[in-house]
Amino acid sequence: MFAAKKVALCRQARSLAMATWLAWGLAWCGAQAAPGAASAPDPRPLTAAAPLARPASAPIPVSPLQDSIAQRVDACTTCHGADGRAGPDGYYPRLAGKPAGYLANQLLNFRDGRRSYAPMVYLLDHLNDAYLREIAAYFASLDIPYPPPVRPTETSTVLARGQILVLQGDAARGIPACVQCHGQMLTGVAPAIPGLLGLPRHYLAGQIGAWHNGRRRAQAPDCMADVARRLSPDDVSAVASWLSSQPWPTGAKPAAGLPHALPMPCGGVPDPAKPAPAPAPRSAP
């Protein structure tokens, strides 16, 4: 137990050190992409090509910077894996292919203190909403294969209990079925509800636990917090085990919308039962 805690603490400390030097590049590049984001440190002038002989007074040649979003998010993929496919041990969550509005809401949640993980908060601290949405849209657009499901180690009774909660809920205890919000195929619903397949069991259980004890919050009304508080520890273990043993359906994407109203209102998620607001004019950079 103590050893596990120590590993987690060391990982956090290492991550914070890594984030410190990554933040500079991200903030500077972000300022280029979205003027008005962080105040930019003044970088050395960039020269396109290195001259063969350089007089002592000439600027130091630097290889040209391709200012692409893929390059700017190097600061993120260091932890989240190449193309945001998740870190090797499942500790750093997958970003690729999750709905853009969901990812943007999470970046806002970290920046604005509803979720806390020090290195992420540090990285996002000075980035403006427009830049966060651009980063979110980039990761949402990546089509990366999902890992195969794991072989469950729990008993068939536990798995059956998990399956019933996910597909039918438990009306007597006010628990709506997970599919009512996360989509019939559980691959998520655009723009702001994530899928529940292709994620490690301990990640699923950890996130529900974080809602349960208030460490993870979403915009109000926080429907997931209500759902999480109605689940017992055994329920959480059962749903996480069943979900992680199901494959991501080949080629599936988040559903375009829900065919019915949400069973309870969720902050930051447009309700399909209400007419969509007129599209906001593109904010000037």
Can residue 122 be called a binding residue for ligand HEC (CB under 6 A)?
Answer: no
How many chain residues are in contact with ligand HEC, going by CB under 6 A?
51
Q: Of the listed pieces 61-69, 117-125, 144-152, 251-259, which binds ligand HEC according to CB under 6 A?
A: 117-125
Contact between 255 and ligand HEC (CB under 6 A)?
no
Q: Nearest approach, Cβ of 44 to ligand HEC (angstroms)?
A: 24
Residue 247 exposure: Cα atoms within 13 Å on the Cβ side? 6
**Residue 185 CA: distances (Å) to CA of 24, 182, 252:** 40, 8, 9
Q: Which of 12, 247, 69 is nearest to 145 (CA)?
A: 247
99 binds ligand HEC (CB under 6 A): no
| Residue choice 29, 193, 197, 238 for contact with ligand HEC (CB under 6 A) | 193
Q: Which two tokens stand for residue 243?
A: 């979900």
Q: Which amino acid would we find at residue 257? A: G
User: Degrees (nearest 5) of the Cα angle 235, 96, 275?
Assistant: 75
Residue 186 in the binding site for ligand HEC (CB under 6 A)? no
Q: 185 near 93, Cβ under 8 Å?
A: no
Q: Are 206 and 117 in contact (CB under 8 A)?
A: no
User: Which residues sit at the interface with ligand HEC, rule CB under 6 A?
Assistant: 15, 18-19, 22, 26, 73, 75-76, 78-80, 92-93, 95, 98, 102-103, 105-107, 115, 117, 119-120, 123, 135, 165-166, 176, 178, 180-182, 193-194, 196, 199, 204, 207-208, 218, 223-224, 227, 239, 262-264, 266, 268-269
